[in-house]
Each structure stands twice: as C-alpha cells, then as structure tokens.
Amino acid sequence: MKVIKSDRFHNYICFETDTLLDALLKIEKNSHRCAVVINNKFEVVGTISDGDARKALIDGRILQTPIKKIMNTAFTKFTKENLDFAKKIFSKGHFFVIPRTDSKNILKEIIIS
C-alpha cells in the first residue's frame, strides 16, 4: 500500500469532462486499474475502473464519451487517515485506488494497493 500526494496525482486523476479514452490512457499509465474522477474544484465525484470502461464499450459507448456519463459515483473514500481500514479494504482484492478527501470532498491523497 502506498500514499500518492498531490504532486503525483497526474496519472491517477481524470476530470469529469475527460473522455473515456483519456481515462483509459490514465489507467494504463498508472497500472492500478482505476482513476479518481474530480470536478474543476478538485472535489471527488467518482471513480472509473478498467471494468467500468469495458462495460461502457460493450454497451456501445464511444471513446469520446465523457466519463461523467459512465463513472462510478458509489465509490469508497476516506476523510481521515485510517490506513488500517485501507489495508482491510485492499486485502479483499476488489479495490486498487481509494481517494482521501477533506470534509469538503476535496482530494488530498490517493491510496493505492
């Protein structure tokens, strides 16, 4: 498990207005099968995984589809540093990237498995 600070977010975040292709390129670069989706205020609004992208393509979406239309809005996040809880979540094997936000939902860190 590793904590990614804001100066290294570039391969782990997408803006909600980015396209499916943009998200796939980020996911490929970060090698963690997921990216955090933010709005222009840096608020976390969702996540997008390679599985979400694959389902969208199977459903007939094109690579220019905004990820806002296909992202997962029921995502797991942390509002405090609780790395023990993160370890438990990662041990289940279904999570690869978890955002940590402040009380206003602004992205502060990204925890990766």
Give the pTM: 0.90
pLDDT score for 82: 66
Per-residue pLDDT for 91 more than 80?
Answer: no
Largest CA distance in the chain: 40
Q: What is the pLDDT of residues 29-88, one digit of tens each?
A: 999 999 999 999 999 999 999 999 999 999 999 999 999 999 999 988 887 766 677 777
Burial string for 94-108 (b: 16+ CB within 10 Å, else e) reads ebbbbbbbeeebebb
Mean pLDDT computed over 22-30: 96
Query: DSSP labels for 1-40?
Result: -EEE-GGGGGGTEEETTSBHHHHHHHHHHH-SSEEEEE-T
Can you tell me whether residue 80 is helix, strand or coil? coil
pLDDT score for 90: 77
Per-residue pLDDT for 93 more than 90?
Answer: no
